[in-house]
Chain A
Amino acid sequence: MTGQGSRSARRGFATSGSFLVIFIGLFIALGTIYTVTANTGERLGDAREDQRDRHQAVQTTAVEVTNATWNGTDGTLTLTVANTGDSTLAVSAADTVVDGRYVGIEDYERATVAGVDSDQWRPGEDLVLEDVDTVEALSGTPERVRFVTGPGVADVREVTAA
């Protein structure tokens, strides 16, 4: 009777021992799956939120080049761009394309927002850009200017002679 009891106890120990090993394995595997899924979900969630923010920025951004004047005698190009949208833009994030050639915002000798040297370009304010040498060296007399904001919203205007 005692022999039979100890035998069944040993058999029971083998079974529960095996279950314990498999359970630990499952526990580790599930832990890994949970960590990876949570990390990936968070990363994707952040990326999607970022994308939504960008789309919203595009929707609320609008600019209009109200004036593009070329002064042939001293070779100066003056642009006036109005922020007609609802969002505050960064002047440093903008770019211009003059006759198909790239002219970065840092190439302009003067860049003022509402008369002040600032990077924050709020709705309703005018940005005035003035270039002295870059455009003249590029193409002589410019014909058209494309102004591109940070979110990619752009406006084009024909250049008029002063």
Chain B
Amino acid sequence: MASVSVSHMILFIASMVVAASVAGVFTSTVGEISNAVDDQGVHLSDDVRTDVEIISDNGTGACVYSCDVAGNLTLLVKNTGSQQLSGSADQIDVLVNGQYQPPEDVSATVLGDADTWDTNDVVRLEIAEPGLNSGDHRAKVIVNGDEEVFEFRIP
């Protein structure tokens, strides 16, 4: 009789252990998925809130290329979104005529009194791209997935 009780006890403990492991694995997996969803939500809302505009003037008489430093392309980018952005060159992707410009060739300066690139602040990008021929060119700036294209002509 006692052996029957012991075997029942063993089965009971085993069933509890199995149930606890199933519940544990389930909750930890769901926890990890929740963290990932939370991270993605933050990224996605940052992307939606991000909006930039290239405000440089591409008309005749306005200077875009070789203005202050020879061989430098100057772009003025305004933060028109509602998200504070990073004004450092390694957070801003720049392509000139389809060629990616590495961060060491791009210098970014937040203009005005601000230290951070808040809403309505303007960043001046100086892109070292010597040897651009006269003719039509195209620059693209990508910040947090928001892409802006600027077309200009060098006389």
* A144 and B61 form a contact (CB under 8 A): yes
Which B19-67 residues have a C-beta within 8 angstroms of A?
19-20, 22-24, 26-27, 30-31, 33-35, 37-38, 40-42, 44-46, 48-49, 51, 53, 55-57, 59-64, 67
**Among A47, A90, A97, which residue has its beta carbon within 8 angstroms of that of B57?**
A97
A10 to B4, CA, bound (A): 11
> Does B97 count as interface, using CB distance less than 8 angstroms?
no
- Residues A7 and B8 in contact in the complex (CB < 8 Å), given A146-B55, A151-B80: yes
* B15 and A101 form a contact (CB under 8 A): no
* A102 and B30 form a contact (CB under 8 A): no
* A152 and B12 form a contact (CB under 8 A): no
Query: Number of contacts between A and B (CB, 8 Å)?
Result: 149
* A97 and B55 form a contact (CB under 8 A): yes
> Does B86 count as interface, using CB distance less than 8 angstroms?
no
Q: How far is the CB of B50 from chain A (nearest CB, A)?
A: 10
How many chain B residues touch A (Cβ–Cβ < 8 Å)? 54
* B1 and A104 form a contact (CB under 8 A): no
* A18 and B61 form a contact (CB under 8 A): no
Which B residues are closer than 8 A to A by beta carbons? Answer: 1, 4, 8, 11-12, 15-16, 18-20, 22-24, 26-27, 30-31, 33-35, 37-38, 40-42, 44-46, 48-49, 51, 53, 55-57, 59-64, 67, 74, 76, 78, 80-82, 111-113, 120, 122, 124
Given A18-B16, A47-B45, A100-B74, 8 extra CB contacts under 8 A: A14-B8, A32-B27, A32-B30, A36-B41, A39-B41, A97-B56, A97-B76, A139-B63
* A48 and B48 form a contact (CB under 8 A): yes
A50 to B112, CA, bound (A): 25
**Among A7, A25, A100, A104, which residue has its beta carbon within 8 angstroms of that of B56?**
A100
* A50 and B120 form a contact (CB under 8 A): no
User: Can you name 16 A-B residue pairings with CB atoms under 8 Å?
Assistant: A7-B8, A11-B11, A17-B19, A22-B26, A25-B27, A36-B34, A40-B37, A40-B40, A43-B45, A54-B82, A102-B124, A104-B112, A106-B112, A144-B62, A146-B55, A152-B80
